[in-house]
Structure formats: structure tokens, C-alpha cells
Amino acid sequence: MVQSLRRLKESPSQTAGPYVHIGATPNWVEITGVWKEDLGLVLVGPETKGERIILKGRVFDGSGIPLKDALVEIWQADSDGLYNSPQEKRGKADPHFTGWGRQPTDGTTGEYRFETIKPGRVPYPDGRLMAPHITFWIVARGINIGLHTRMYFGDEEAANAECPVLARIEHKVRVPTLIASRPEENGMPTYTFDIHLQGEKETVFFDI
């Protein structure tokens, strides 16, 4: 017998279920008075640096119907490309921007919506710059393990073209599933990022 490496196994994932909001956004499901405000609803304040943007979209199942019980989390760098995390070794991020947000998809329309800022570029481990992006994590009833993806910006064509992560996608026809378009809405830059869990327009998901 060889010696054991004695590593522990990661706790296996389970679905978040249809009532994930009770734990993640209790005020949103009218469990009020337990804690004052749900975490992650607000990302920006008056002192946050960077260009204000709206992110919105829906999460579709394999039949093309939007999920009305999903929970969407985002994680992103500040406007200088730094993460507000003790694990960030490259510098000090904007203290007025947490970089993390969480929203349920609307119970009627299925739409999620964040007000945030456009992130700066972050280097890939070999030093090349990745295009500006926002990491998404999606959980819901029927999803056994949270799905990771990234949203890139439709108005960053040059950066997207040289992004080492987008370059790893073998089937180039799938790259547009990660790129959000930018129409203006009421004078605010508004990016629409729809996520397709399955089917012809299936979004690229990552094993990170």
C-alpha cells in the first residue's frame, strides 16, 4: 500500500431549491425584521469610482421559458481592475465598491437587474490582459451545482478579440453567448445578458 495523501473531499453540492430566497434574500420574500437588508442588493454608492451601468437579463431553461426562481450572483473588479478581496495581491481596490452582488430573478418576469460599474481589465496568470468581464454564478431549483459563467461587454471589441479566456473557446460561434449588447435606457448604459441553460443558444459555462 502506498501512503495516503489524506486530503478531505469537498462537500458535495446540492440544489439551492425553489426557496433559496428565504436564506439569501429574506426581506424580498417578506421575512422581515430578521436582518435589516438583504446582502448584495446594492453595489454602488455616491463615492464609488467608475462608470455607472445597469446589467439585466433573464435565465432561460431548455424550453425557452425564463426561470422565475433563480438566484444570480456577480463578482467583479473595480474600475481599475482590482478586486476588493484579501486575496487581491496587486493593490488596494476601491474601498467604496464591494464587487459582489446578488439578485433573485423576478417572480413574474424572470428578470434580474444590477446597478454597478464597468470593471477595469484584469491580467490572466501569464500577464496578458483579459477583457473587462463580470463573473456570474447561477443557482436555482433543478440546478444541482452552481453554474459559473462570465459576461463580457459588446462595446469592448478590441479587448474581447485579445482576451485569453475567450480565445480558449474552441467553437467560435459560441463566443457571442458571453457578450452583452449595450443599448441606452433612460440615458443609462444598460447591458442585457441573457443566460441560456440549455439548447441552441446555450451559454458557455466554466469549470473554474
Partner 1 sequence: MSDEGSFYQRDRSWHPPAFTPQYKTSILRSPQYPLLSLGNTASEMTGPVFGHDEIGPLDNDLIRNFAKTGDPIGQRIIVYGRVLDENARPVPGALLEFWQANAGGRYRHKKETYLAPIDPNFGGCGRTITDGEGRYWFRTIKPGAYPWPNGVNDWRPAHIHFSVFGHAFAQRLITQMYFDGDPMIWQCPIVQTIPDKAAIEQLVAALDRSVTLPMDALAHKFDIVLRGRRSTLFENRMEGN
Residues within window 4-43 making contact with partner 1, judged by CB under 8 A: 6-24, 26, 29-31, 33-36, 39
Q: Are 70 and 25 in contact (CB under 8 A)?
A: no
Cα 161 versus chain centre, distance: 21
Give the phi and the psi of residue 206 in degrees, each rounded to 5.
-110, 145
Q: Which residues of 36-58 are buried (b: 16+ CB within 10 A; e: fewer)?
A: eebebeebbeeebebeebbbbbb
Tell me the closest approach of the beta carbon of residue 51 to partner 1, in angstroms. Answer: 19
Binds partner 1 (CB under 8 A): choice among 55, 67, 131, 151: 67
Binds partner 1 (CB under 8 A): choice among 91, 95, 107, 176: 107
Closer by beta carbon to partner 1, 56 or else 141: 141
Please count the residues of this chain forming the interface with partner 1, following the rule CB under 8 A.
80
With contacts defined by CB under 8 A, name the span among 1-9, 110-118, 154-162, 180-188 that binds partner 1: 1-9
Tell me the closest approach of the beta carbon of residue 107 to partner 1, in angstroms. Answer: 7
Tell me how far apart the alpha carbons of residues 199 and 83 are, in angstroms, rounded to a whole number.
33
* Under rule CB under 8 A, residue 158 binds partner 1: no
Closer by beta carbon to partner 1, 83 or else 191: 83
* Under rule CB under 8 A, residue 139 binds partner 1: yes
Tell me the closest approach of the beta carbon of residue 206 to partner 1, in angstroms. Answer: 5
**Which residues are CB-contacts of 82 (< 8 A; sequence separation ≥ 6)?**
88, 90, 91, 92, 93, 94, 120
